[in-house]
Amino acid sequence: MTRTIRRPAALLIALIASLVLAGCGSGPSQVTSAAIIGDHAISLDDVQQEIRWVLDNVPEAQQAHEQNNFEVQAREIVRSRIIHHLVTVAARREGLRADPARITELIESSGGAESVAASIGIEPERVRDVAADQILLQQLAQRYADRVSVQLVGTTIVTENAEATAKEQALDLGRKLAADPGAAEQVIRDGGHQLIDQELTLAETLQNQPELAISAVFGAQEGTVLVIQPSREQTGWLVGLVRDRQVGAGSGEQAAQQADPQVLYWAGIRQLQPIADELGVRLNPRYGVWDETEMAPAASEDEVTGYQLRSRTVQS
């Protein structure tokens, strides 16, 4: 099965079991839910059941439990269930379907359901869903590859100074852009930064800048100011206003046929972002907060991977 870019896995995301703490949300549904997406709740009991299975069957999970080091893994389990629900919504809207024979082939090529479940840390009962999600996410990326384009106005910040880190400078500039998006070019130039003003298509970016293609640049709504680090290998922050985001007609099949399947998988997750924004994702506070830039839970607001600032254009 396809290995993902960010976390090694035989199938989808590498999930290891963790201890789930009881919720302390503001309402009854929050207390009994690990997460809520729109009006859909992910049961805390179901997550606990999955964790119990993994603790009993995955030695690495037990080791992490003994070392009191599995908060990250707990969030991964919740994340995979959130992604599954978002994929289900996207597939229904787009008319996508994972061929049962292809699902079986994917599982068998990875050693069978029991082997997959133990290797990535999920219950055997969820293996087919996880395999189907992988197939559907790749289809979703193909469907949108030649349809999505973005007009981005921004700059990159890589240097630090005595007064501020690169991140602090990027956030400061991002807030200025959000406060006056109509003057974005002038704000950037006045700050002494090199201006980026580009129209980016998802299809070309998948081929030429895959890390950018799977970033929030192609998932954020029009009018959003991004402060992100698109590359895992290079330092520096991208600060950019999504001035325009268009989704046109087209099948996407031709444009995406040469893309790496791993990149397609993550590009598919990025195309779930508009649905996540539309429905809203709320976590049980014990799992932290939803990081829309990473499309994953983060331990706290201080540990999110990037920032999406709503400009006056969006807020109005």
Output the pTM of the full model. Answer: 0.86
Q: pLDDT digit string (tens) for 109-144? A: 999 999 999 988 899 999 999 999 999 999 999 999
Tokens 């950019």 found at: 240
Lowest mean per-residue pLDDT among 5-19, 98-112, 234-248: 5-19
Q: pLDDT digit string (tens) for 152-211? A: 999 999 998 889 999 999 999 999 999 999 999 999 999 999 999 999 999 999 999 999
Q: What is the DSSP letter of 243?
A: E
CB-based contact 135:16 (threshold 8 Å): no
How far from 85 is each of 82, 144, 225, CA to CA, in Å? 5, 19, 27
Residue 44 to residue 18: CA distance in whole angstroms: 13
Q: pLDDT digit string (tens) for 42-68? A: 999 999 999 889 888 988 888 888 887
| pLDDT given for residue 29 in this prediction | 60
| pLDDT given for residue 15 in this prediction | 37
